[in-house]
Amino acid sequence: MVRQGNIDNPPKTPLVPGFECCGIVESVAENTQGFEIGDRVMAFLNYNAWAEVVCTPVDFVYKMPDDMTFTEAAAFSLNFVAAYMMLFEVASLREEMSVLVHSAGGAVGQAVAQLCSTVPNVTVFGIASCFKHTSIKDSVTHIFDRNTDYIQEVKKICPDGVDIVLDCLCGENTGKSLSLLKPLGTYILYGASNMVTGETKSFFSFAKSWWQVEKVNPIKLYEENKVIAGFSLLNLLFKQGGCNLVKSAMDKLLSLYEQKKIRPVVDSLWALEEVKEAMQRIHDRGNIGKLILDVEKSPTPLMANDSTETSEAGEEEEEPEGDNDSKERMPFIH
């Protein structure tokens, strides 16, 4: 989305994209507490993560668990933190609830599905393009094609509606998704800034979506007992001083990782030189989970997942890039 210019106030070019990375600490500022040279870490950055060396405030850096690989670490932070905060901070996911997630095959969608499985008896409805169903059907309770009338299908299973709907910025589903909510249910519109849209869909930009998204009358929410929320992790981190909230979510997520309850889904690894092909794969909606940019890799894609093929009108997908297994330098994800 940054590359496409589909954001408000895009930074001036030339710029280095990327908001998350992992790697090894090369140096620390004076008086830095808690980190030493040589520590294996994950970090958020406000741009510049697709680089061989990065610098970021200590508030955005987290130690990697000993048994986490760089490939996993590169795919961990942004998606799991976003999924966790939406499910447990914005909504209050509890036992027996139901969750509908758009873009179930994306990296946030897969993180949502895994986090839902940590709570007993949660029903997950995944919406995804047909060609992803085989790969992701085991991660959700029910799966529907986004091009079918999934609203009716979900209502057949849950006549009262669902408790939580997670929808990435797509500009057309707000009303439909709101209609699926139970009383006291929560609709969350989220979007990592790294969302891109397939060229096979009609052109979509953030500015356009602002006008297309149906505005909501608070009195309608009052009459229907519904909750609508927006969630932008990058804004929370870099514009709204939310690093302590995020740190607390990361602590809980690392504990879930260590209990082997969650595991990042990696689509494929790419060399920095292959960034164009990696972006194309996301554009074509071919990926299941994260694409990682590995600064030490030589150009030949290693598919972590051979399940899907290219272009078809599909979901809004993340554009997750990162890098992996750098032994000497701080690698960078996004």
Residue whose C-alpha is closest to residue 49's, from 292, 310, 282: 292
Residue 302 · residue 268 · CB < 8 Å:
yes
Contact pick of 111, 189, 196, 269 for a copy of itself (by CB under 8 A): 189
Exposure class string for 317-330: b at 16+ Cβ within 10 A, else e:
bbbbbbbbbbeebb
Minimum CB distance to a copy of itself smaller for 241 or for 299: 241
Contact 277, 270 (CB under 8 A): yes
Contact pattern from residue 133 through residue 172 relative to a copy of itself, giving x for each residue in contact according to CB under 8 A and a dash for the rest:
---------------------------x--------x---
* Amino acid making up residue 288: I
Token pair for 54? 């990065």
Residue with tokens 């910025």: 169
Stretch that binds a copy of itself, among 56-64, 178-186, 195-203, 270-278 (CB under 8 A): 178-186
Pairing between β-strand 40-44 and β-strand 290-294 as defined by DSSP bridges: unpaired
Please tell me the distance from the alpha carbon of residue 208 to that of residue 171, in angstroms, as a whole number.
8
Closer residue to a copy of itself (CB): 174 or 324: 174
Residue 126, judged by CB atoms within 10 A of its CB (0-12, 13-18, 19+), counts as buried
- SS3 of 241, please? coil
Out of 221, 243, 256, 275, point to the residue binding a copy of itself (CB under 8 A): 221
Number of residues this chain uses to bind a copy of itself (CB under 8 A): 43
Helix (H, G, I), strand (E, B) or coil at 1: coil
User: Nearest approach, Cβ of 266 to a copy of itself (angstroms)?
Assistant: 27
Which range touches a copy of itself (CB under 8 A), out of 30-38, 188-196, 279-287, 308-316? 188-196
184 contacts a copy of itself (rule: CB under 8 A):
yes
Contact flags string 229-268 toward a copy of itself, x per CB under 8 A: xxxx--xx---xxx--x-----------------------
Tell me the window of 84-92, 109-117, 124-132, 308-316 that interacts with a copy of itself (CB under 8 A): 84-92
Q: Which DSSP symbol is given to 89?
A: I
| Cβ 124 to a copy of itself shortest distance, Å | 21
Output 82 or 295, the one with its CB closest to a copy of itself.
82
How many other β-carbons are positioned within 10 Å of the β-carbon of residue 104? 29
Site of interaction with a copy of itself (CB under 8 A): 8, 85, 89-90, 92, 160, 169, 174, 183-184, 186, 189-191, 206, 209-210, 213-232, 235-236, 240-242, 245
